[in-house]
Structure 1
C-alpha cells in the first residue's frame, strides 16, 4: 500500500511538471490571478487615457480580474516607461507604448535604458492623426495664414505639446523646420493641460491627437487648421492636410502595449489575442473610429517590427528638426 501511494504521488507530480512545461495553456490558466497595472506615461484625459480605458474594460470583462489604468506622466513618457521596465516580468505591469518610445531612442541621449531590449512588444492598438489647433483669438484661418503670421511675429507665438520628445512635440519641431518659422515650445504633462491653456490663450497653438481635441474642435472652443496625415481624417473631413501647404509633411501617433522583457511568451500571446479580439469587436471598433483612430491588428512580432520601423522613421525626423528643444 505504501509503495502504491508513493508511486501515485510521484506519478501525479510528474504529470503536473510535464503539463506545466509542455502546454502554455496550463500557465495561461493561472493568469491573471490578481489585478494588472496598465501604466499610461501621460496625464489623464488625453488620447492615451481614452484608448487605454476602452481596452482595459474589455480585458477586465474577458479575463476576470481588473486591468487598472495608472497614469505616470512626465519626462516625455520616460517616468512611466521606466516604472514598467523595472517591474517584475510577470505580466502584472504593462506599458501603454507610444510614438514617444520610438522617438526617444534618438532624441534623448541621456536615457539609460534601451527600449528595444527592455520592453517586449505585446500588441498594437491604434494609429491616430495629429491636428494643428489654435486659440480662437488668433487671426488665422488656415495653415498658410498661420505660417505667414508666425513669420511676421517671430518668437511671439507659443505652441504646446504633451511633453518633450513626444510625437506632438516633434511634429511641431518638424513643422517649424519645414516652414522656416520660430515658435516657442511649451511642454505639458499630457495633452489635457495643454488644451486648457490653449483655450485660455496662455499658448496660441498646439499639435494634438485628433482623439483628445476632437470635441473641443466640434464645440468651437479651438480652431483646427490642418491634419498631419497625407489624407483627411474621417472625423474632421473639412480640415485639409498640412502637406497641402508644406509638401512632404507627415506624422501621426501610434499606440500599443508592451511588457517588461522576459515576460512569459504564453502571457504575451494571451494578451495579444484578447487585445486583437477587442479591436475587431464591432462596438469597440466603432468607438475607436469615432475617436479618429485606426486599429492596429497583428501578432506580437508584427508589432515589434512596427516599433523598429517607427524608430528608424522618427530618427530621420529628429535629424531634420535639429537639436533637442526643452
Structure 2
C-alpha cells in the first residue's frame, strides 16, 4: 500500500509543472501579429497601433511580422498552422471571405482551421468617375450603362479584390454590363480615369477623396450601407439599390484550437484598444472606422460572407491574378 501511495505522490509531483504551465495566464511569452500584406497602407498602420497598445496591456513583446503573398493566403496559412495557444495572431482583410471561392487548392479551410477573434475595422469603397462621363450618380450610371451596353469601363486595383467584386455585385444587382480593367494596384489607374481613357475607378474612399476634392474626379457613390462621416455629401449605392453593402473589412484570427477563454481575452483587449480616443483619431486619418466585435459575431459575419462572394465570383468568372 505504501508503494502505491509513493507512486501516486510521484506521479502527482510530475504533473505539477504541466498543471502550472496550463494555468499560465495569457500571454506567457512574446506575441506575433502576422500581416498578410507588404508593409505600408491602412492594414499596416492598424497592426502597428495594436502592436504598441497590446504591448502596454500585456507587458509582453508584441511583434508585427509581414508575410505577403497569394492574395493574403500565405500569411493566413502561417496563422492557421501556428501553435494553437493564441501567441500568433493574424490580421485578415476582405480577401479572407473571397479567397475560398476565388482560389483553388487553398492550403487551409477558412472556417475550420481558423478561429475568428474580432472584426477590427471597416473602410468605405468609392465609385468615382472621369469628369467626361455623362453620369453624376448611381441612378444615372445605371441608366447610361443600359443605354450604352458594353461601352463603359471601370478600373480596380486587381482582379479578385473587394473593389473588383464589389462592382461585379453592383453589375449583377442592377443588370448592367461594364468592362473590368484590372491594374496592379490603383496608382496607375488614376491617370487613365482622370484622362477619360477608363470611365470609372473603384477604390477605397480615403484613396480617391483627394482626387475628388481637387476636382479631378467626380464621386458616383459609396458602396457602404451608410454615408461616410469624412464625406457625408456623397450618397451611397444603397440609396438607389436598397440593401447594397460592400466595404473593406479588417479583422483578427488565430489558429483553431486556441482555448476559448484566450480568444475572448484577445478579442476584449483588442476592442479596448479600438475604443481609445488616440487610436480612433489615428485610424480616422487613414480612413478606417473602428468596430470591435465578439468572436461569435465575427464568425457569423464570415459564415455569411463566404457564400455571398462565392455567387459573385461564379457569376463574374473572376480568377485570382
TM-score range, shorter chain: 0.7 to 0.9
Corresponding residue for residue 183 of structure 1:
179
- Structure ranking higher in helix proportion: 1
Corresponding residue for residue 219 of structure 2:
224
CA change 1:260–1:221 in 2 (3 A) is farther
CA change 1:170–1:237 in 2 (3 A) is same
Q: State the distance in 2 between where 1:245 and 1:113 align.
A: 38
Corresponding residue for residue 5 of structure 1:
none
User: Structure 1: where are the runs of 5+ without partners?
Assistant: 1-7
Q: State the distance in 2 between where 1:325 and 1:134 align.
A: 25
Asked if structure 2 preserves the Cα contact closer than 8 Å seen for 1:52 and 1:69, the reply is: no
CA change 1:156–1:149 in 2 (3 A) is same
- 1:68 lines up with 2:64 in the alignment: yes
- 1:252 lines up with 2:251 in the alignment: no
- SS of the aligned residue for 2:188 comes to helix
User: RMSD between aligned alpha carbons?
Assistant: 3.3
Asked if structure 2 preserves the Cα contact closer than 8 Å seen for 1:198 and 1:205, the reply is: no
Q: Report matched runs for 1:61-140 at 5 Å.
A: 61-63=56-58, 64-70=60-66, 72-73=68-69, 75-135=70-130, 140=135
CA change 1:37–1:301 in 2 (3 A) is same
Instruction: Provide Cα deviations, 1:144-182, integer angstroms capped at 9, x if missing partner.
Output: 454455553735624213x43332221011123324123
Asked if structure 1 preserves the Cα contact closer than 8 Å seen for 2:33 and 2:91, the reply is: no
- 1:173 lines up with 2:168 in the alignment: yes
Q: State the distance in 1 between where 2:149 and 2:45 align.
A: 36
- SS of the aligned residue for 2:293 comes to coil
User: Structure 2: where are the runs of 5+ without partners?
Assistant: 1-8
| TM-score after normalising by structure 2 | 0.78
Asked if structure 2 preserves the Cα contact closer than 8 Å seen for 1:123 and 1:300, the reply is: yes
Selected match of 2:29 from 31, 38, 47: 31
How many residue pairs get aligned? The number is 305
CA change 1:219–1:274 in 2 (3 A) is farther
- SS of the aligned residue for 1:298 comes to coil
Asked if structure 2 preserves the Cα contact closer than 8 Å seen for 1:56 and 1:68, the reply is: yes
CA change 1:184–1:29 in 2 (3 A) is closer
- SS of the aligned residue for 1:55 comes to helix
Q: State the distance in 2 between where 1:132 and 1:271 align.
A: 35
CA change 1:61–1:205 in 2 (3 A) is farther
Deviation at 1:278, TM superposition (A): 0.4
Corresponding residue for residue 4 of structure 1:
none
Q: Which of 105-114 and 274-283 deviates more?
A: 105-114
- 1:198 lines up with 2:193 in the alignment: no
CA change 1:226–1:277 in 2 (3 A) is same
Q: State the distance in 1 between where 2:21 and 2:107 align.
A: 36
Asked if structure 1 preserves the Cα contact closer than 8 Å seen for 2:67 and 2:74, the reply is: no
Corresponding residue for residue 273 of structure 2:
278
Q: State the distance in 1 between where 2:242 and 2:119 align.
A: 29
Q: State the distance in 2 between where 1:204 and 1:78 align.
A: 31
Corresponding residue for residue 239 of structure 1:
234
Asked if structure 2 preserves the Cα contact closer than 8 Å seen for 1:128 and 1:293, the reply is: yes
Q: Which of 129-138 and 300-309 deviates more?
A: 129-138
Asked if structure 2 preserves the Cα contact closer than 8 Å seen for 1:120 and 1:260, the reply is: yes
Asked if structure 1 preserves the Cα contact closer than 8 Å seen for 2:274 and 2:290, the reply is: yes
